[in-house]
Amino acid sequence: MACISSNAAITTGMGLIATNTYDVIVAGGVEFMSDVPIRHSRKMRGLMLKANKAKTLGQRLALLSTFRPGFLAPELPAVAEFSSGETMGHSADRLASAFNVSRAEQDEYALRSHTLAKQAQEKGYFTDLVPFKVQGIDQVVDKDNGIRVSTPESLAKLKPAFVKPYGTVTAANASFLTDGASACLIMTEEKAKQLGLKPKAFLRDFLYVSQDPVDQLLLGPAYGIPKLLKKAGVTLKDIDSWEIHEAFAGQIVANLKALDSDWFCKTYLGLSEKVGSPDLTKWNNWGGSLSIGHPFAATGVRLCMHTANRLVREDGKLGVVAACAAGGQGVAMLIERYPGATAD
């Protein structure tokens, strides 16, 4: 499920525990964006499939005669929506335009993400990171290396990355792709006590949503958060920590504007009034995917662990995790701090 794969791993694990299939489960995800599969062209794939079915030499020679050198051109990797074929950067540009999110707003949010991530890193808040040794490289990877605090002036100089020349999404206000892995240990409170383990948090509730994968591909949080709050019987003011996947700065700002829009909430969510704007002093306080990076399958657990650790350090009780994903999908999760939990 692309960006919410490890969220799905966690909730699938919960289901297996709830049905007494398993007692203890490790859930997570891994992504190698530095070594993505590169496919043959569609014409070459078609030719190869036909060749596999050819039974005689004559049939094979006939197929060979249709081959053209252009068939060998590979399909270059791109973060594209599989249902529409559109690059997600184009979707982000269109969404930002629809919600009147300016380039300045996007750059300002991106700068916020990098600044907060750097502060959290320097304060030693990323206690759940595991150092990794890459074969053949002397240096050990012991911290996220994509955090770069720039200036508004420097960000403003960057050219549009997708919709040229008038787009507003740039390399700086879009999440960058990186290698990464995440894992978490899930079980019932009773089982944790039996094993002598100290839990960090409860996963109290969750749900998945889906909407139009073209015009509303990146609006998963705006759809999921109100439904989750209603299902759990809590309000915006009850939430002490927000951890929302930052696919693009424009996507984040658009989701915030959607939640604070009477028209959007009435038209698309069927509500009587707008949900309102979450308290931004509690929003992605340790940075997010824009600054830390976005290894697709690993991000979901990272969001959950940031929430669990932030609730401890910020003395909160309830946290919300939300993310958009391929296919117009989205997730929203309610996490509760475990009494006596520590961030280490």
Q: Please confirm, yes or no, whether 324 is among the known catalytic residues.
A: yes
Write down all domains in the chain, each with its CATH number in brackets: 2-36+82-337 (3.40.47.10), 39-75 (no CATH)
Check 184, 265, 304, 324 and give the catalytic one. Answer: 324
Measured over the CA atoms of residue 211, residue 324, residue 188 and residue 235, the dihedral's sign is negative
Which residue type does 222 have? A
- Across the chain, the runs of DSSP E, i.e. the strands, are 25-31, 132-133, 140-141, 180-186, 201-210, 241-244, 318-325, 329-337
pLDDT, residue 84, reads 81
Q: Please confirm, yes or no, whether 184 is among the known catalytic residues.
A: no
Between CA 118 and CA 125, with CA 124 as vertex, the angle to 5 degrees is: 85
Nearest to 226 by CA among 269, 283, 281: 269
Stretches where the chain sits below pLDDT 70 are: none
Which residue type does 21 have? T
CA distance 126 to 310: 10
Q: Going by DSSP bridges, is the β-strand pair 241-244/318-325 parallel, antiparallel, or unpaired?
A: parallel
Check 3, 184, 265, 304 and give the catalytic one. Answer: 3
Q: What is the pLDDT of residues 98-124, one digit of tens each?
A: 999 999 999 999 999 999 999 999 999
Q: What is the mean pLDDT of the chain?
A: 95
Q: What is the pLDDT of residues 282-292, one digit of tens each?
A: 999 999 999 99
